[in-house]
Structure 1
Amino acid sequence: MAAIIGSPSRYIQGKSELKNLCSHAANYGKSLFVLTSPSGKKRVEPAISEGQKGTETAVVYEAFNGECCMTEINRVAAACRAANCDVIVGVGGGKIHDTAKAAAYYLGVPVVIVPTIASTDAPCSALSVIYTDEGVFERYLFLPSSPNMVLVDTDVVSRAPARLLISGMGDALATYFEARACQRSNAGNCVGGKQTLAAMSLAKLCYDTLLENGVSAMLAVENKVCTKSVENVIEANTYLSGIGFESGGLAGAHAIHNGLTAVEETHSLYHGEKVAFGTLVQLVLENADTEEIETVIDFCISVGLPVTLAGLGIKEVKEEQIMEVAKLACSPDDTLGNMPFEVTPEDVYAAIMGADALGRYYTEEM
């Protein structure tokens, strides 16, 4: 099997870049179908309209209904076709991005992704995570290519609530450890090949960038300013993690996340918050070095990522509920099979409980 790395054709990141959307997107089409939330439209429409002046680009807005499910993907595709638009632009967070990517795939049109938050690594990937209408993980939709363009306005992203940037750090935190597990097992990545040296290097750079810049970025965003550390973390959350996970591969952390989506108490948590705990569970499964586990726990605590089941909203731990999470995580359709050893639901259950115990120990110690 060949080594393959996937990436967007263009990645653009900078302050006030949103006003350049129409000029950048003109490389792909002249009629933009912008999928965003009603609140997102209020935030981004003035800048997009300013940049639209003097161009021949038309812009049609469509409100996102809240879930990346096949019902919504089909609705968006039909609305884009009815509007005669030739480019889909997903403006917002991860579920909007995944819906835009999937709808563009089924229509056969280019897709541009514009994150307004840095809460996941979805923008750069050739992947959509499909949920049921009720919000339970259903499957991965692997796409033939990454988005045509990803545009990140760091002014917009830095003004979002700090919890969203922190959630993105949780998602990005898993990138290196999952890629490392895939490297050890020689598992395939998410673009149908084996890892490249570049993918593994980007995954490690992602982790190092978080450790070096995470706390200062969190503090800056809490104070509504965009510092160099914020820009570095935005790049880590969006690009380094996006390329790193997709071309490095997924393993335990995201499978644990997917299992947790079946627990109603976790539905108020963001994707990256659950992935952060999943990373700790994966490290327990691997019997990782104590120093490495301590580094991850200390980082999570320092930026406010959950390291316990209680932190995920599970105040009353029920054995049968956690075992159901473990069974779902071990689904043959998920990515725990990429670990470099056999993993059973009983192993995952023990690792979840072990991770929770570690998290409680270090939280109480601090």
Structure 2
Amino acid sequence: MPVLTRLIPSPVVVDIRPGALDDLASVLSDQRISHSGKLAVAVSNGSGAKLRERIAPALPGATWYEVGGGALDDAIRLAGAIKAGGHYDAVVGLGGGKIIDCAKFAAARVGLPLVAVPTNLAHDGLCSPVATLDNDAGRGSYGVPNPIAVVIDLDVIREAPARFVRAGIGDAISNINSIADWELSNRVNGEKIDGLASAMARQAGEAVLRHPGGIGDNDFLQVLAEALVLTGIAMSISGDSRPASGSCHEINHAFDLLFPKRAASHGEQCGLGAAFAMYLRGAHEESAYTAEVLRRHGLPVLPEEIGFTVDEFVQVVEFAPQTRPGRYTILEHLDLKPNQIKDIYSDYAKAISS
């Protein structure tokens, strides 16, 4: 009887532990990613630059490229510099999400594998097949290959500002709502669900939601980092962002588009959006529990907690479906009018406060 399998796009190396950065050179050599040590290392002028002095002696064959921001132009310039710099085995992105995304795009443009070395856990983009970059139209998502390796040093993560870890928590937990939206679209529209991608993304979110620890615990940071990596792989399996992007992310994008100078972090807005969207779909107990966990980690669950009025939040929710045309979530399903959104929000606020 034949055994039918499929190939899953995933990193060759996933190294998540305290002190992982100190072994970066040996990991890349042992896994045949870079025997020669010739690497193009993209760093920010912030967290990545501070680590350069620490790890540069272990990477004598590396060329370092400082990236100024997270715009498409920055990524294109980086790709041009790497191409002009000679032959490299791989590109290393060392820094926060913007640097990782610039390095992803540049590596794809020059045809080299990407090694992601994030210095914070702000969102699931660290292992996803997407580079999110600012452009003239606002912000765009660009398809890129998965990183060939992901190295996450939990000691480095602990030194990052706590708000970055909190943002990652919100992004990971929002997976659960995103999967519920996917299942809704399957029931209503017959949209196909990739069961493996769905299972990975859901369990990643549940692992973070149910973990009793906090952002100061290595055990919790390990689970959060693994959840974000698994979410990125789930998106690669499905071929799009569906396992990790539903009504919660539509609400996030609406905040960004309507109030670009006031928007909070991606993860904060996704977490809040997920708790509210769960209430919209009638999952009131799950909504209340999600809000409780988000609060325990210091994340917002009401728009007032990130500086928005109720009327502004109603505007965000009403506009949210326009941010992802063709994606069907609880927002498209209910097609609520402003007065309906306001009434439901009032009930939601009371429910999670009781």
**TM-score using structure 2 length:** 0.83
Preserved contact between residue 89 and residue 111 of structure 1 (Cα < 8 Å): yes
CA distance, structure 2, for counterparts of residue 280 and residue 245 of structure 1 = 22
- Give 1:356 deviation, angstroms: 4.9
- Give 1:256 deviation, angstroms: 1.4
Cα distance, 1:249–1:205 mapped onto 2, change above 3 Å: closer
Cα distance, 1:322–1:208 mapped onto 2, change above 3 Å: closer
* Range that drifts further, 106-115 or 196-205: 196-205
- CA RMSD, 1 decimal: 3.1
CA distance, structure 1, for counterparts of residue 340 and residue 57 of structure 2 = 52
Structure 1 residues 1-366: aligned runs within 5 Å? 6-26=9-29, 27-29=32-34, 30-52=37-59, 58-67=61-70, 69-84=71-86, 86=88, 87-132=90-135, 137-143=138-144, 145-186=145-186, 195-213=193-211, 216-218=213-215, 221=216, 226-236=217-227, 238-245=228-235, 247=238, 248=243, 250-262=245-257, 263-267=259-263, 269-285=264-280, 287-314=281-308, 316-318=309-311, 322-323=314-315, 326-327=318-319, 329-331=320-322, 334=324, 337-339=327-329, 342-343=332-333, 347=336, 353=342, 356-357=345-346, 360-361=349-350, 365=354
Preserved contact between residue 252 and residue 335 of structure 1 (Cα < 8 Å): no
Q: Which amino acid aligns with 1:337?
A: R
Preserved contact between residue 251 and residue 335 of structure 1 (Cα < 8 Å): no
Deviations 1:243-285 (A, max 9, x none): 3455335221112111111213533x22111111221243244
Deviations 1:59-91 (A, max 9, x none): 222222222x22111111112122225222111
Q: Which runs of 5 or more residues in structure 2 are unaligned?
A: none
Cα distance, 1:99–1:350 mapped onto 2, change above 3 Å: farther
Q: Which runs of 5 or more residues in structure 1 are unaligned?
A: 188-192
Cα distance, 1:121–1:358 mapped onto 2, change above 3 Å: farther
Preserved contact between residue 124 and residue 147 of structure 1 (Cα < 8 Å): yes
Q: Which amino acid aligns with 1:208?
A: E
CA distance, structure 1, for counterparts of residue 344 and residue 51 of structure 2 = 40
Deviations 1:189-212 (A, max 9, x none): xxxx95443322222322221123
Q: Which amino acid aligns with 2:262?
A: T
**TM-score using structure 1 length:** 0.80
CA distance, structure 1, for counterparts of residue 39 and residue 150 of structure 2 = 14
CA distance, structure 2, for counterparts of residue 348 and residue 70 of structure 1 = 36
- Give 1:330 deviation, angstroms: 2.1
- Give 1:182 deviation, angstroms: 1.4
Q: Which amino acid aligns with 2:328?
A: N
Q: Which amino acid aligns with 1:73?
A: A
CA distance, structure 1, for counterparts of residue 6 and residue 186 of structure 2 = 11
Q: Which amino acid aligns with 1:161?
A: P
Q: Which amino acid aligns with 1:294?
A: A
- Give 1:18 deviation, angstroms: 0.8
Q: Which amino acid aligns with 1:147?
A: P
Question: In percent, how many aligned pairs have the same letter?
Answer: 24
CA distance, structure 2, for counterparts of residue 160 and residue 35 of structure 1 = 18
Preserved contact between residue 120 and residue 272 of structure 1 (Cα < 8 Å): yes
Preserved contact between residue 255 and residue 336 of structure 1 (Cα < 8 Å): no
Q: Which amino acid aligns with 2:218?
A: T
